[in-house]
Homo-oligomer: A and B are copies of this chain.
């Protein structure tokens, strides 16, 4: 069974983005980048809400072509890790949940109008690598509500945003997690890894 992992950078006061979705407060961390790049294996699948997809789409397709001038919402410059990430993201199957997009033209992208939990379960039963979801608050909330996210990784940055968006909202009930790892980095970031409790 393929797993779905939610990966997010968060502020110490619990926000996942600034009020307007900005991520310029994220404390970049070459060590976390390296660790993620090392774990990228084979063709992956990324699940997206529209907004996060558009943010990724504005950066990653050209991240390899024009590394010097491309804006980089995720920082890390033109490091080997950023390049590995760019290759992996461009190759990955990108499933975009949106009712308003007409189409998606970024390589290996697929538009899905409605998030049907049964279809996600079906995807998890298919062979293939694990799936990952970055940000995408509304999609992450729906998946969490149906118990479809298996793993949560939060990189807690040493920043108080004092305003912003929460990743999950509108869930009818709370859910328990199992702490797998709490790992501080020299940057002051702390990686918290959880599995959904069974």
* Contact residues in B for A172 (Cβ distance below 8 Å): 162
Shortest beta-carbon distance from A144 to chain B in Å: 6
Binds B, one of A40-48, A88-96, A126-134, A182-190: A182-190
CA distance A43 to B189 in the complex (A): 34
A90-110 CB contacts (< 8 Å) to partner B:
none
Q: Which residue of B lies closest to A14 (CB)?
A: B14
> Is the CB–CB distance between B162 and A176 below 8 Å?
no
**Residue A138, interface by CB 8 Å:** no
| Interface 1/0 per residue, A167-187 and B, CB below 8 Å | 111111111111100111000
Number of identical protomers: 2
* Contact residues in B for A79 (Cβ distance below 8 Å): none
* Contact residues in B for A164 (Cβ distance below 8 Å): 166
* Contact residues in B for A179 (Cβ distance below 8 Å): 158, 184, 188-190
> Is the CB–CB distance between A170 and B159 below 8 Å?
no
> Is the CB–CB distance between B190 and A175 below 8 Å?
no
Q: Which of B158, B176, B183 contacts A177 (CB 8 A)?
A: B158
| Interface 1/0 per residue, A134-176 and B, CB below 8 Å | 0000000100110000001010101111111011111111111
> Is the CB–CB distance between A14 and B160 below 8 Å?
no
> Is the CB–CB distance between B169 and A163 below 8 Å?
yes
> Is the CB–CB distance between A160 and B182 below 8 Å?
no
> Is the CB–CB distance between A171 and B161 below 8 Å?
yes
A-B contact pairs, 16 of them (CB 8 A): A12-B192, A13-B14, A13-B167, A14-B16, A14-B166, A144-B162, A159-B174, A160-B168, A160-B174, A160-B175, A162-B168, A162-B173, A177-B188, A179-B188, A182-B184, A190-B190
